[in-house]
Amino acid sequence: MNTPQHPKRFSMIREFHLADWFTLGNAVCGVGALFSAMSYLATHDVVHIYFAAALVLAALIFDVLDGRIARWRQKSSAMGRELDSLADVISFGVAPAIIAYGCGMQGLYDRVVLAYFVACGVSRLARYNVTAETLSEGTGKVKYFEGTPIPTSIVLVGLLALAAAQGAVGANLWGGRVVLGGFTLHPLVLLFALSGSLMISRIKIPKL
């Protein structure tokens, strides 16, 4: 009589490839950026904005390295691809939006735009996951992106860090504010609307 085999302890972790650990590093940096943004809201010490921006940059480095390591070792998996997308949502979608909120984009219209930005990022990654095989044309390597990749939000994070360095946060946010129907819009947040729209666009960008 065959004895039923039980899954080994920590079997999921045992199945991780080296690249997957770098992907988790990406996610951890993204969560750290969220904590730093919340610390800024609590203390108004601008150094926390710098920490948040630096952690998003670190997440980008991990994101680049995990892909290079996967290609170098020629080991990848569907799980790794899903991990990558989930980590990117945190680090390059949610974190930039919360940093923007912390910097002063806290009006009702601002929140709607920031939520739109995150939703576009999630949609962009979902589309990539379901079309990657088609876009690779059987070669296993995607030749181009449809829509701008979500890590391009690092540009917005860098802009916010620069604004913080110049004291242009809170009431001093670049572009001022506009009151429409009793609710506030900071024009600077429209850059997030543009970024989100480009992510879900059909423009083709060669993958390096």
- How high is the pLDDT of residue 70? 65
- Average per-residue pLDDT for the chain: 86
Residue listed under structure tokens 């952690």: 55
- How high is the pLDDT of residue 135? 59
Residue 122 located in a structural domain:
yes
Condensed to tens digits (0 to 9), the pLDDT of residues 145-178 reads: 788 999 999 999 999 999 999 999 999 999 999 9
Task: Determine the Cα–Cα distance for residues 208 and 143; give it in Å rounded to an integer.
Answer: 8
pTM, full prediction: 0.86
- Give the residue among 195, 193, 190 at the shortest CA–CA distance from 116: 193
146, two tokens = 């449809």
**Contact between residue 15 and residue 65 where contact means Cβ atoms under 8 Å apart:** no
DSSP the chain: -PPPPPPPTTHHHHT--HHHHHHHHHHHHHHHHHHHHHHHHHH--THHHHHHHHHHHHHHHHHHHHHHHHHHHT---HHHHHHHHHHHIIIIIIHHHHHHHHHT--SHHHHHHHHHHHHHHHHHHHHHHHHHHHHTTTSSS--EEES--GGGGHHHHHHHHHHHHTT-SGGG-TT--EEETTEEE-GGGHHHHHHHHHHTS--EEE--
**Contact between residue 98 and residue 34 where contact means Cβ atoms under 8 Å apart:** yes
List the CATH number of the domain containing 22: 1.20.120.1760
Residue 83 located in a structural domain:
yes
Residue 134 located in a structural domain:
yes
- Please, what are the averages of pLDDT over each run of 10 residues along the chain (208 residues)? 56 64 91 98 96 97 82 62 88 98 97 98 89 60 79 97 96 94 96 97 79
Give the chain's domain count: 1
**Contact between residue 105 and residue 173 where contact means Cβ atoms under 8 Å apart:** yes
- How high is the pLDDT of residue 146? 83
Residue 6 located in a structural domain:
no
127, two tokens = 């589309």
Task: Determine the Cα–Cα distance for residues 78 and 56; give it in Å rounded to an integer.
Answer: 24
- How high is the pLDDT of residue 1? 47
Residue 10 located in a structural domain:
no
Residue 11 located in a structural domain:
no
- How high is the pLDDT of residue 129? 80
Range of the domain at 84: 16-206
